[in-house]
């Protein structure tokens, strides 16, 4: 069901769902309301069979500056926990179970909880004007998700440096470390993101959904079990009509016609 949002903009264009964090006056700082609306928008995209790819970006000059500190410095621990539940546990579960690839388009800085949103996405394309950082330590907070996520991407030593110093990281260095997929000129960001989204949207939606499911299930499993589980999912996918159509179209040298079944 279509919803009206106050802190984000949700728009479907063809096979893309575009979600824009829309509090530019505070560099898209995340309130509880924004977190709840973001999760609702993602669930709306999940329920829409026409959506093949979800694109997240920020309004104005920033992707997201992190938690709304004007709210947080007077919040109770129960209110803070609600914010954490929304932005960490609920968002992670929704993203992993979305069944559709997500792309973060970093149009500007992504800091602290802004990184939480960006790195919850499956792929990140960054403007050369963007940068990332984990400044929570500078105000006495813990960069919760990132002390778990970062070592898995960049290794223990560099990850510890990033979360313990709070110093920003250029997107060029982030790309070298494997934290973003690609850095592009600022005025080319939307074009490059749309090209990537179009490539993904052209694939079988069933194959994409099950590939994403196998990918994230595998990250939570012991290696040998993950290999077996991915093989089981591949066998299930093999029997779908789309898979047969994909193989048939290759043999017949034509473009496949996906039916989503």
Angle at 18 between CA 20 and CA 11, to 5 degrees: 95
For the chain, state the CA radius of gyration.
19
SS3 category, 223: helix
Structure tokens at 31: 């309130």
What span, in angstroms and rounded, lies between the C-alpha atoms of 162 and 181? 19
How many residues comprise the chain? 261
Residue carrying the six token digits 């769902």: 17
Dihedral class, residue 207 (left if φ above 0, else alpha if ψ from -120 to 50, else beta): alpha
Phi and psi based region of residue 140 (left: phi greater than 0; alpha: psi -120 to 50; beta: remaining): left
How close are the terminal C-alpha atoms of the chain, in Å?
A: 23
Report which of 152, 160, 154, 156 is spatially closest to residue 134, judged by C-alpha positions.
160
Q: Which of 103, 139, 140 is nearest to 123 (CA)?
A: 103
Q: What's the distance, CA 207 to chain centroid?
A: 19
- Residue of 33, 85, 136, 241 with catalytic role: 136
Tell me whether residue 136 is one of the annotated catalytic residues.
yes
Q: Which of 69, 72, 55, 78 is nearest to 8 (CA)?
A: 55
Which residues form the catalytic set? 136
């Amino acid at each position: 069901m279509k919803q009206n949002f106050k802190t984000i903009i949700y728009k479907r264009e063809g096979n893309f769902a575009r979600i824009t964090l829309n509090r530019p006056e505070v560099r898209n700082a995340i309130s509880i309301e924004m977190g709840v609306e973001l999760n609702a928008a993602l669930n709306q995209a999940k329920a829409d069979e026409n959506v093949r790819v979800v694109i997240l970006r920020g309004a104005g000059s920033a992707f997201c500056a992190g938690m709304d500190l004007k709210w947080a410095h007077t919040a109770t621990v129960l209110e803070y926990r609600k914010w954490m539940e929304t932005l960490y546990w609920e968002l992670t579960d929704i993203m992993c179970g979305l069944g559709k690839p997500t792309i973060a388009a970093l149009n500007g800085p992504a800091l602290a909880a802004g990184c939480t949103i960006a790195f919850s996405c499956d792929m990140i394309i960054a403007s050369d004007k963007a940068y990332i950082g984990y400044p929570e330590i500078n105000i006495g907070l813990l960069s919760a998700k990132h002390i778990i996520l970062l070592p898995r991407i960049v290794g223990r030593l560099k990850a510890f440096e990033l979360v313990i110093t709070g110093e920003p990281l250029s997107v060029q260095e982030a790309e070298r470390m494997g934290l973003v997929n690609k850095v592009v000129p600022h005025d080319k960001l939307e074009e490059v993101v749309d090209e990537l989204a179009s490539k993904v949207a052209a694939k079988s939606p069933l194959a994409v959904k099950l590939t994403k499911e196998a990918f994230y299930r595998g990250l939570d499993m012991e290696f040998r079990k993950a290999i077996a589980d991915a093989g089981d999912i591949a066998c299930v996918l093999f029997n779908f009509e789309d898979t047969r159509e994909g193989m048939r179209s290759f043999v017949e040298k034509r473009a496949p016609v996906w039916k989503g079944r």
